[in-house]
Amino acid sequence: MFKDNRSGTVVVVLNCVINHNARAMGAARCPGINTDLLKVLTDHGAGIIQMPCPERIVIDLPRTRSEGTDIRTAMDTPERLAHCQQLVMGVVAEIKEFLACGYKVPAILGGDVKSPGCAVPADTTDQATRDAGHQWGIFTGMLKTELEKQGLEIPIRGIRDSAEKTLRADLAWLEERLSAC
């Protein structure tokens, strides 16, 4: 459809991996952008669909909540869940628009395994991850459900940047997905 320099490939990316300033207190791993991820995307000529940060949007940037309430619980109200679902629908609509125009969307990148909003239980080949009983984040769980409902089969994987080893494994997976495009 488009005849210019674009690659025709876009990756759906969690908000904070290209803006760690959006993260909850204590969760930022780098000053701003995860440049390792950006390099992989750049090397393969992939563009980015940046998803919204659900925690920041449905709560706020400092994740204001009553003492003793964790972020997941703070998000888990009817209004905030409905807001998350709205965000999910926006992301799915954007993905569908690119797909309808012939783009490849080889991956959706969610958050690390403990993110209340964006966790992806991730690497099902990783026994330790399975044993830890990690669950989907509120937003990513809804996204997965909506993608399945709409028959969109796009692999979702968390970018586990809390440890160098898991980050490398996730970037290697992304490289493979992009190389196959």
Contacts to ligand SF4 by CB under 6 A: 14-16, 22-23, 53-56, 111, 115, 117-118
Give least dist CB 5 to ligand SF4, A.
29
Phi, psi of 13 (to 5 degrees): -125, 135
Report the residue number, 44 or 114, with the smaller CB distance to ligand SF4.
114
Report the residue number, 106 or 111, with the smaller CB distance to ligand SF4.
111
Give least dist CB 2 to ligand SF4, A.
29
Separation CA 111–CA 122 (nearest Å): 9
Give least dist CB 19 to ligand SF4, A.
8
Q: Following CA atoms 80, 143, 125, 180 in sequence, which dihedral angle do they give, to the nearest 10 degrees?
A: -150
Report the residue number, 55 or 123, with the smaller CB distance to ligand SF4.
55
Length of the chain: 181
Phi, psi of 96 (to 5 degrees): -65, -35
**Which tokens is 87 given?**
């965000």
Report the residue number, 19 or 98, with the smaller CB distance to ligand SF4.
19
Please say whether the beta carbons of 15 and 53 come within 8 A: yes
Give least dist CB 1 to ligand SF4, A.
30
